[in-house]
Structure 1
Amino acid sequence: MGIDIISDEINEIFFERKPIPVPYNYRIIYKLSQIVLIINLSNRTGNCSVLKLHVLSSALSSDEEMSRLVYFLENKVLVKYPFIRMEPALNRAINYGLAEGIINQRNDGKIFVTNKGENLYNCLMEDLEIMVRDKEFLSKFGKKVTDKFLSIK
């Protein structure tokens, strides 16, 4: 009984794939652009640890997260909960960037921007209307987030 009654009445099942909108902050090109900005605007050495990428990407996710990171930078005290989120979207963008030759990875694991990535960076910086908040925040606070600072326990 039960399922047999249903299956006797159903001749065909159709699945229609509907497009699912992906929020901008989960799109690979957005995250890859963010990675290129983070590496170029928040490092004196031109390379960046994956941890630093995650910390700054998390901070850029909202004004509240930005404020939380700034407070931590200035006071060395965590507010409410840790501000580091390991984002799968960022990891996918790193993998995509490596595959496309936009970024590369040193033997010590740090990520750096290739010539192809520099071209992307220059395009992002020339456009005064794109990722303005990210550029301003990274220019002001990015270099304060050092690997030594991130190792504070």
Structure 2
Amino acid sequence: MKEQELNIKKLSFTQRPIPIPADYRPMYKIALIVLTLRLCCRAETSNLLKLHLFSWALSSDKNISKLKDYVTSNFQTDFSVWSIEPALNRALQYAIAENICDVVNGKNYKLTEKGFKFYQMINSDTELFDKEKSFLTFIGKSKITDSRINAMSNQWNINYAEN
């Protein structure tokens, strides 16, 4: 464009309230990451795929029920692919930047002391994240291990690659 075509004398913006769903708010996702690391991960450390599994499960009551059924059936029911969402990846970046969690061995995420304090603050409010805390406590640290996550994701290749 030529310089003369850009003859703009005034440019203004009007801020309008736009509701952003909670699933896309970084602080909401960071809180879920903290709860997941504390309540469902040994040594408060997790790989990315496990964090995505729990983020997917917590995104709807249907997904919570599906994962609960899978666990209570001793991993015998059919379980399909879960979603990988960019909002979780962004929240992890913010959590690392704020020293809420650290990257360990280049691939796992670990809750820091600041993250633990954030967990205590969340946990002290009995109404905050009530459904999420109940579900994550039900799952606990021993029901869905990293080896179970790997086995589940390997099923993707077997069951869904050909379809």
The aligned counterpart of 1:76 is 76
Structure 1: 5+ residue stretches without partners: 1-11
CA deviation after TM superposition for structure 1 residue 13, in Å:
8.5
The aligned counterpart of 1:111 is 109
Structure 2: 5+ residue stretches without partners: 1-9, 156-163
Say what the alpha-carbon RMSD is for the aligned residues. Answer: 1.9
The aligned counterpart of 1:151 is 150
CA deviation after TM superposition for structure 1 residue 44, in Å:
2.4
CA deviation after TM superposition for structure 1 residue 117, in Å:
0.7
The aligned counterpart of 1:130 is 128
Does 129-138 or 13-22 show the bigger shift? Answer: 13-22
The aligned counterpart of 2:119 is 121
For each residue in 1:29-63, what CA deviation from the matched residue of structure 2 results, as whole angstroms up to 9, or x when unmatched?
A: 01000000000000222201111100011101111
Give matches, 1:1-153, under 5 Å. 16-73=14-71, 74=73, 75-79=75-79, 81-82=80-81, 84-143=82-141, 144-152=143-151, 153=155
Misfit runs of 4+, over 6 Å: none
Say how many residue pairs are matched: 141
Larger Rg, first or second structure (1 or 2): 1
CA deviation after TM superposition for structure 1 residue 115, in Å:
1.2
Q: Matched residues, percent identical?
A: 37
TM-score by length of 2: 0.79
TM-score by length of 1: 0.84
Alpha-carbon distance in structure 2 between the residues aligned to 1:130 and 1:69: 22
